[in-house]
Structure 1
Amino acid sequence: MQKLVQGIHQFQTQIFSSHKELFERLDKDQAPETLFITCSDSRISPNLITQTQPGELFILRNVGNLVPPYEHMGGMSAGIEFAVTVLQVKDIIVCGHSNCGAMKALLEPDQLGELPATKAWLAHARKTEQIMWESYGHLHGNELLHATVEENALVQLENLRSHPSVAKAVTAGRLHLHAWVYKIETGEVFAFDPDRGQYTSVTGTDGLAPLDPEHRATDLSI
């Protein structure tokens, strides 16, 4: 706790003072262009990864970067609705990450014996689980885990489309959906390219292994 208090002191005395105009402007309003949905994992820092300032990302986080379908209305649905309808964001990114504990638990449900709330929450990734067991039986270990992370981001985009505000904005052409995967160990970020059927580096380097189009969770050609 002391480290946090020291951090606040440093922020107030060094950071805030040099960005005073920014924070005064943000006090009046916010106008982020991107809704960034990612995992609660402490190793993920959306603003650090994207080098964005306060006010530039509207961030929603939860275990496994899941998006419950619209019929399961709750905090995530409210945040999505607000971002799309009120803030009118132009992009929604669902960002998974390497070595995700939630995806490990999805593949190894025995880990959830004493975590009933987590087990219930991961039901929103049941389609991901189904895809993995039906289509990726040839993979094991880290390869299986990473493929699960990739597929899960696509499944959650499909769930996003069940939200009326998202569907309306996508149809109108003012909203675009993106699936990203962040590799903690290298700092690389990969985005799913529907034309190539694989994740490719957002900075233009070589992509990851392609996903079989027959096993793809959703059509992202928008």
Structure 2
Amino acid sequence: MEKIFKGVIHFKQEDYESHKELFKELKKGQKPHTFFIGCSDSRVIPNLITKTLPGELFVVRNIANVIPPCNINDGTYKCTASAVEYAVKYLNVKNIVICGHSNCGGLKALFYSKEKLEKLPFVNRWLDIIRPLKEKVKDIKDEGLREWEIEQLNILAQIENLLTYDFVKDKFEKEELNIYGWYYIIETGEVYNYNFEKEEFELIG
């Protein structure tokens, strides 16, 4: 924790001071242009990847960057869904980025043994949302190729889930909201953006 405390001090002395006027303006409220849905993985840092300042991104992160399909009446709490609703209906963001990444532990967990998953009951329940993806890669024997494929398929599945929210689909179809699927490669720093027309991921830049 000593490193983190020193980081807080450095932030106040350096980063805050260099953006003091921005922080004073942000006191009045936020107007982010983009809603970033990413994985909780410590190696995926939205503002670092996008070089954005405080106030630009509204962010939600969870295991495997999952968006549960819209179902308001299933009796459970709605963390990610409430963030989607707030970002689109209240903050009126113009863009939504769903960012998956390489070497995703959440997706690897889909292939854990039953015994291992029993020790992670909350994770196991969460994985039910994306468990159907296993069927799509069942014939891929090469583990590296399977990992690459399921990570990208998961991004597309979350775009589909996002569009089950009527208020998202309506704005998207009216071209009032842009949706992007990103695949971030940790070891190279490369980000691939999904091209809806070509139905493939293309390297940004």
Q: Compute the TM-score of the two structures, normalised by the length of structure 1.
A: 0.86
Match of 1:66 in 2: 66
For the pair 1:23 / 2:23, whether they are aligned, the reply is yes
Letter in 2 for 1:24: K
- Asked if 2 retains the 8 angstrom alpha-carbon contact of 1:154 and 1:179, the reply is yes
Change (3 A) 1:45 1:156: same
Q: Deviations over 1:109-129 (max 9, x none)?
A: 544231011000011112322
Q: Distance in 2 between matches of 1:109 and 1:162?
A: 31
SS of 2:158 mapped into structure 1? helix
1:93 is aligned to 97
Which residues in structure 2 correspond to 1:114-125 (within 5 Å)? 114-125=119-130
Shift in Å, 1:193: 1.2
Secondary structure of 1:126's counterpart equals coil
Deviation at 1:139, TM superposition (A): 4.3
| Structural mapping, 1:113-152, within 5 Å | 113-133=118-138, 137-152=139-154
Moved more, 42-51 or 100-109: 100-109
**Aligned partners of 1:127 and 1:155 also within 8 Å:** no
Cα shift readout 1:75-129 (whole Å, capped 9, x = no counterpart): 1111000100111111111110000001111133544231011000011112322
Which blocks of at least 5 consecutive residues in structure 1 are unaligned?
204-222
Shift of 1:4: 1.1
Match of 2:191 in 1: 189
Task: Tell me, yes or no, if structure 1 residue 199 matches structure 2 residue 201.
Answer: yes
Residues 167 and 62 of structure 1, relative CA distance in 2, 3 Å threshold: same
SS of equivalent to 1:28: coil
Question: What residue in structure 2 maps to residue 50 of structure 1?
Answer: 50
Residue in structure 2 matching 1:167, options 144, 147, 169? 169
Please name the residue that 1:216 is paired with.
none
Instruction: Give the corresponding residue for 2:83.
Output: 79
Which region of structure 1 is more displaced relative to structure 2, 103-112 or 91-100? 103-112
Q: Provide the secondary structure at the position in 1 that maps to 2:68.
A: coil
- The 2-side partners of 1:162 and 1:132 are apart by 24
Give the whole-Å Cα distance in 1 for the aligned partners of 2:159 and 2:199.
Answer: 15
- Distance in structure 2 (CA, Å) of the matches to 1:109 and 1:71: 29
Partner letter of residue 132 of structure 1? V
Structure 1 segments of 4 or more deviating over 4 A? none
Which SS does the other structure have where 1:64 is aligned? Answer: helix
Q: Which residue of structure 2 aligns with residue 13 of structure 1?
A: 13
Q: Specify which of 139, 143, 158 is matched with residue 156 of structure 1.
A: 158
Return 56-65 or 189-198, whichever deviates more.
189-198
Name the TM-score, length of structure 2 as normaliser: 0.93
Q: Aligned partners of 1:85 and 1:24: how far apart in 2? A: 25
Cα distance in structure 1, aligned partners of 2:96 and 2:123: 25
Amino acid at match of 2:50: T
Say if 1:106 and 1:122, in contact at 8 Å, map to a contact too.
yes
CA distance in 2, matches of 1:166, 1:109: 36
RMSD: 1.4
Residues 91, 178 of structure 1: 8 Å contact kept: yes
